[in-house]
Amino acid sequence: MKKLQQGKGQRPGIRLNANGIETRKNILLTAGELFTKYGYAGTSFRDITKESNIGLGSLVYHFGVKENLFLSTVSTFFPTQERFDEISASMETCDANSGRDEVINAIFETVATYLKEIHCNRRAAFMPKFYARMMLDATPETERLLKDRMEPVRKKILAFALRVSPKLSEEQAMAWRRCLESQINYTMFSADQVLDEFKLRSFKPDAIDTIARSIAEISYPLLQREG
């Protein structure tokens, strides 16, 4: 019996017709919901077949093993590198001559757009909690995928900090970036606490704007700019 390949997402050589594409979408949505609820270790292929009403043979045909399915789920629902470039585009317009409001607005736009991408995801309502799960349960393959997608924008944020505040050392700029990332991740890992702190009921777009504006204004002084 041919050994199934691990860690490659969709099995190689598979050609999907319209029904196959729809089946794959249904599997991925169900997998996302169950991985979110029970974690990687707590979710089995049989759990997914039971919840999705899709046969085990079809699940194995499309993904081979659970590691492939988890990788494909992350790949499908987590923003692509191209999307991250769009999200962070406002940061590219700022430099050392930019005023306080312009820099804060650039941070705000980036943070707000990213948070809406996660918290207001119509395609996958489970995304905020799945975000936390995929970070905690990451396999070597998903870690590589996340790094490939996030590292370019992390470098862009670092360059932004150094550009708008040239007196920062690279170490200080990296510390600023970590602070920004921590505040963003906090909205995923401690969503209820964030809503409580801001006296909000849910992560609707206007609520996210309030949170993102606060993150931007709190982060700005750490850039150590004049004014």
Q: What is the mean pLDDT of residues 58-80?
A: 95
Residue 2 lies in a domain: no
CATH number of the domain to which 68 belongs: 1.10.10.60
Q: What is the mean pLDDT of residues 121-139?
A: 91
Let me know whether 170 and 217 are in one domain.
Answer: yes
What is the number of structural domains in the chain?
2
Let me know whether 93 and 110 are in one domain.
Answer: yes
Final residue of a structural domain among 76, 104, 119: 76
Q: Could you read off the pLDDT of 189-206 as tens digits, one per residue?
A: 999 999 999 999 999 999
Let me know whether 156 and 115 are in one domain.
Answer: yes
Let me know whether 112 and 179 are in one domain.
Answer: yes
pLDDT at residue 4 is higher than 50: no
178 phi/psi in degrees, rounded to 5:
-60, -40
**What is the extent of the structural domain holding 62?**
18-76
Per the prediction, the chain carries an average pLDDT of: 91
Q: Which stretch of DSSP H or E encloses residue 60?
A: helix 56-63
C-alpha torsion 184→185→187→191, nearest 10: 180
Q: Which stretch of DSSP H or E encloses residue 130?
A: helix 127-136
Give percent of the chain above pLDDT 90: 85
Let me know whether 93 and 135 are in one domain.
Answer: yes
Let me know whether 91 and 203 are in one domain.
Answer: yes
C-alpha of 64 from chain center: 25
Read off the DSSP letter of residue 227: -
Q: Which stretch of DSSP H or E encloses residue 112?
A: helix 100-119
Give the integer Cα–Cα distance in Å for 159 and 166.
10
Contact status, residue 28 vs residue 76, Cβ threshold 8 Å: yes
Residue 69 lies in a domain: yes
In this prediction, residue 6 has a pLDDT band, given cuts at 50, 70 and 90, of very low
Hunting for tokens 């409001």 — which residue is that? 101
Count Cβ atoms within 10 A of the Cβ of residue 47 and give its class: 0-12 exposed, 13-18 middle, 19 or more buried: middle
State the angle between helix axes of 127-136 and 170-189 in degrees (0 to 180), rounded to the nearest 10: 120
Final residue of a structural domain among 53, 76, 99: 76
What does R_g of the chain's alpha carbons equal in angstroms? 20
Q: What is the mean pLDDT of residues 121-125?
A: 91
Q: Which stretch of DSSP H or E encloses residue 64?
A: none
Contact status, residue 132 vs residue 191, Cβ threshold 8 Å: no
Read off the DSSP letter of residue 12: T
Helices and strands counted in the chain (H then E): 11, 0
Look up residue 156 and give its two tokens: 């862009």
pTM of the predicted model over 0.75:
yes
Final residue of a structural domain among 35, 54, 76: 76
